[in-house]
Amino acid sequence: MLTKELLQFTVRKGKVRPRFVDVKDPDLLAVAVDMVQMAQDAVGGAAGELEESLAARANQHRRPVVARGLAKLVQDRVEVEPADESATQLRKLAFEASMAALAAMDDGADFATFEAAVAARLSPPLAEIRHQLYADLPERRGVLGWEPLTAEGLLERYNLALAQGLVMYAHRLTVTVPKPDLVVTRRLLRWLKFCRLVAAVEREGETLVIHAEGPAAVLSSNRKYGLQLATFLMAVPLLKRFEVSSEVELPRRPKATLHLDHKDPLISTLQGGLGHIPEELKKVSDAFEGTEWTLDASPELVPVGATGVAVPDFFACHAERGLRVAVELFHPWHRSMLDRRLAELAERPDARFVLGVERALAKDPEVAARLEAEPRVFLFNAFVSPRALNKALKEVE
């Protein structure tokens, strides 16, 4: 992800636009090739040396801000060894030994004598201690590896990061998908849930409209949901055709409208990564093994209400009874989505749609009252209880 000082964009007539780069530009490809090679060569060395090399190469380029952005994206892909927690204790011991040696020194003692006195109070040898004294600092940690990509891939990642950087300053995104590929769209909506976002999904003829937002979008200016929106944006370019619109509030600037579509040079980095199944669902599925119910976590669009669309977290299937029951889970950050779903089910009840609601959300008196009116609801704590789910499924006809 790019920091705000590395973002390149223009604002004209209330519209903000990323300054995308040409991924075939020879000059930019040259610097990208160098930076990719630096990352490959850095494995086994110090992270600080790689950072210095990348910074020096970026500063040589005629477009230093773009080059620094590329350097930042390279560093984001580097795996650095964890901090050596023993360094803090080592510094404490070295300080105590130094103070004790200094207190015992004669007034005329030289540095060599002092150094020898310190070394006598420490183990391992002083030279080794000097090397390890600040081993916990980021620049001193070793490079264990990096997630490789090509020079052109780095430029593609840069273009996506420009768009993500602007979305960081948004509260919500609207994604319009004409004639959607259902398989990709289902996975996209599963990814949206993985990002802990809430969404209203509507059909307008053959077009699907997704309104995604953080739960604090209206009442809070907290930027943490901007990061989640930016993470969600990574998956949108997997769609063959799409439009993205959002209102962004850039620092010290008036609000501006961002518009992106499939014609922009946006390439997703998640080509095979949308099949994620949360660990809690795996545990529930394992708990149901050997019972009369089986769980299917395949993403699927289910009509709710008059025009709404839901993507249940999973389906509970009973072969003998021919039942396939949609189960959708709601956590505290899903308050607005739960309100919407309850209204849709009240408008058009669905006997094969079960809601699971985390108890922290159900503590709200207004929510609790509405849940009592819905017959197919079960409560859970942090994780879904197989017993509570099984009880709710028994009520399904």
| pLDDT grade for 269, boundaries at 50, 70 and 90 | confident
Could you report the per-residue pLDDT of 77-130, keeping only the tens digit for each?
A: 999 888 767 777 878 888 888 999 888 888 888 888 888 888 888 887 888 787
**For residues 156 and 265, is the Cβ–Cβ distance under 8 A?**
yes
pLDDT value at 5 more than 70: yes
User: 272-275: long-range contacts (C-beta < 8 A, 24 or more apart)?
Assistant: 274/187, 274/188, 274/190, 274/191, 274/235, 274/238, 275/187
Distant-in-sequence, close-in-space partners of 192: CB < 8 Å, separation ≥ 6 = 199, 210, 212, 232, 235
Write down the pLDDT at residue 221. 41
**DSSP 8-state code for residue 196:** T
Write down the pLDDT at residue 216. 44
The region of weakest confidence among 143-147, 299-303, 342-346 is 299-303
Domains plus CATH for the chain? 86-135 (no CATH), 149-272 (no CATH), 279-394 (3.40.1350)
Q: How many CA atoms lie within 13 A of 352 on its CB side?
A: 14
| pLDDT grade for 220, boundaries at 50, 70 and 90 | very low
Could you report the per-residue pLDDT of 224-251, keeping only the tens digit for each?
A: 678 889 999 999 999 999 999 999 998 8
| pLDDT grade for 218, boundaries at 50, 70 and 90 | very low
Crossing angle of helices 64-76 and 26-42, in 10° steps, is 30
Mean pLDDT within 55-74 = 97
Could you report the per-residue pLDDT of 290-303, keeping only the tens digit for each?
A: 788 998 887 788 89
Could you report the per-residue pLDDT of 370-383, keeping only the tens digit for each?
A: 998 888 899 998 78
| pLDDT grade for 219, boundaries at 50, 70 and 90 | very low
CA distance 18 to 125: 55
Residue corresponding to tokens 């063959």: 240
Task: End-to-end CA distance of the chain: give it in Å, rounded.
Answer: 49
Write down the pLDDT at residue 200. 81
pTM equals 0.78
Rg for the chain (alpha carbons), in Å?
Answer: 28
Write down the pLDDT at residue 224. 61
Dihedral pair phi/psi, residue 274, rounded to 5°: -100, 10
DSSP string spanning 362-375?
HTSHHHHHHHHT-S
Distant-in-sequence, close-in-space partners of 148: CB < 8 Å, separation ≥ 6 = 36, 39, 40, 77
Closest CA to 81 of 21, 29, 146: 146
